[in-house]
Amino acid sequence: MPAGPGALYFIRPELSQEFGDEARQRGVRTHEIAPGIFSAGQDIPLYWVLDYWPQTERLAFTSIGDAAKKLRALGRRWAYAGGASFRRGQLIAEALKAKKQKQQEFSPTAVHPPCAAFTLSHENELVYSLAPLKGAFAGGKMIFAEDKKGPPSRAYLKLWEAATLSGVYPQAGEAVLDLGATPGGWSYVAATLGAQVTMIDRSPPDAGLLKKFPRLRFIAGDGLKPPRAELEHAVVILSDMACEPAKLLPAVQSWITLPHVRAMICTLKFHGLSDKRVIAAFAAIAGAKIYHLWHNGHELTWVWQRL
Ligand SMILES: C[S@@+](CC[C@H](N)C(=O)[O-])C[C@H]1O[C@@H](n2cnc3c(N)ncnc32)[C@H](O)[C@@H]1O
């Protein structure tokens, strides 16, 4: 393991090729400290990871009580991400009253204050970060109590997760433009939050959904070129469109210039190995964050808020 501060990356085994490619292109040399957990001597964010911990420190300890005491001196709120010597880590987490990784109820009013996180590298050594990307959801796992009746697709879980992590929620009464909306899982989420949603897709959405929510409206068309009137009215733009990120990029760059738009949440979907230059261009937009969500497939989620 590299000496001194650096980063930890929690990867998804199915996407290890993306992670390896991204690390290589960014010049990040990594070392696996536990299955799926990699450390690096530099602090460079990589996006094909379930969680990214910057500014990690190593901490030697002699006992569970000693580890808990040392961590408590560093911060009040802790999460445990699993890893090597799992049971020992769990005992430290219990001694620390660390946040348990349990099923979440989706709640737009829930507050998720900053939280530090740790994992064990050996029996008597742990690695911690005071600012892990996913906060209390250390390691990146986020399991919700599912809504099995309302949404017409499971894609709603991605929007729940992106909103929970970023704090970007469509608000009651806001005009939301949902691009590539069919069958309507994301629109269902926005509508249940009280937003006025315009759904755009080439194919019609779930008919039952439109009947159930009068605040949903559907327009058939190309989500990359929404009607001007809809764009000028939109406050939040959502896109889970199955389209090339390279084509979505100029579109979001132009939508940012629309003064009413306060936030966007877009899935970046890739076929084959992703183009890291396109990902870097999305990441470079001021106010943007990129997550690989627990509920993402071969996708990243780009969240933008006006600063
Ligand atoms: C993964 S689905 C979206 C699922 C949806 N977010 C939900 O929650 O149910 C992707 C959608 O993108 C639509 N799509 C792909 N390219 C499009 C385009 N250029 N314009 C409009 N819709 C598009 C497809 O028709 C498909 O319905």
The pLDDT value given to residue 102: 84
Q: Does 3 score more than 80 pLDDT?
A: no
Amino acid, res. 92: I
Residue 22 lies in a domain: yes
Residue 164 pLDDT > 70: yes
Ligand 1 atom at minimal distance to the Cα of residue 183 = 9
Q: Which atom number of ligand 1 is nearest to the Cα of residue 153? A: 9
Number of structural domains the chain divides into: 2
Statement to judge: residues 204 and 294 lie in one domain? yes
The rounded Å distance from CA 216 to ligand 1 centre is 16
pTM, full prediction: 0.96
Q: What is the pLDDT of residues 270-298, one digit of tens each?
A: 999 999 999 999 999 999 999 999 999 99
Claim to verify: residue 123 and residue 160 sit in the same structural domain: no
What pLDDT was estimated at residue 70? 98
Same domain, 17 and 102: yes
Give the pLDDT band (50/70/90) at residue 4: low
Instruction: Tell whether ligand 1 has an atom less than 6 A from the beta carbon of residue 245.
Output: no
Could you tell me if residue 252 is inside a domain? yes
Q: Is 102 exposed, middle or buried (0-12, 13-18, 19+ CB in 10 A)?
A: exposed
What Cα–Cα distance (Å) separates residue 112 from each residue in 9, 36, 87? 21, 25, 26
pLDDT of residue 226: 97
Mean pLDDT score, 159-180: 97
Contact 266, 301 (CB under 8 A): yes
| Residue 296, ligand 1, Cβ within 6 A | no
Q: Is position 174 within any domain?
A: yes
6-57 residue pLDDT tens: 999 999 999 999 999 999 999 999 999 999 999 999 999 999 999 999 999 9
Do 160 and 268 fall into the same domain? Answer: yes
The response to whether residue 153 sits with its C-beta less than 6 Å from ligand 1 reads yes
**CB of residue 155 inside a 6 A radius of ligand 1:** yes
pLDDT digits (tens, 9 = 90+) for 123-162: 999 999 999 999 999 999 999 999 999 999 999 999 999 9
| Ligand 1 touching residue 62 (CB < 6 A) | no
User: What are the tens digits of pLDDT across the range 182-196?
Assistant: 999 999 999 999 999
Decide if pLDDT at 250 tops 60. Answer: yes
Rg (CA), the chain: 21
Residue at token pair 């210039």: 257
For residue 269, what is the domain's CATH number?
Answer: 3.40.50.150
CA of residue 222 to ligand 1 center, whole Å: 10
| Ligand 1 within 6 A of CB of 186 | yes
In a domain, 134, yes or no: no
Classify residue 179: in a domain, yes or no. yes
| The pLDDT value given to residue 99 | 82
- Measured from the Cα of 269, ligand 1's closest atom is 1
Q: What is the mean pLDDT of residues 106-111?
A: 93
- Is the distance from CB of 89 to CB of 59 less than 8 angstroms? no
306 by DSSP, 3-state: which?
Answer: coil
Ligand 1 center to 199 CA (angstroms): 10
Same domain, 113 and 179: no
**Ligand 1 centroid from CA 171, angstroms:** 22
Claim to verify: residue 176 and residue 291 sit in the same structural domain: yes
Domain match, 83 and 203 both:
no
Domain assignment present for residue 197? The answer is yes
Residue 144 in any domain: the answer is no
Q: Is 244 in the pocket of ligand 1 (CB under 6 A)?
A: no
CA–CA distances in Å: residue 70 to residues 145, 157, 196, 227 = 34, 37, 50, 57
160 lies in the same domain as 301: yes
Boundaries of domain holding 295: 156-305
The predicted pLDDT at position 101 comes to 79
Q: Tell me what the mean pLDDT of segment 299-307 comes to.
A: 97
Check whether residue 111 and residue 220 sit in a common domain. no
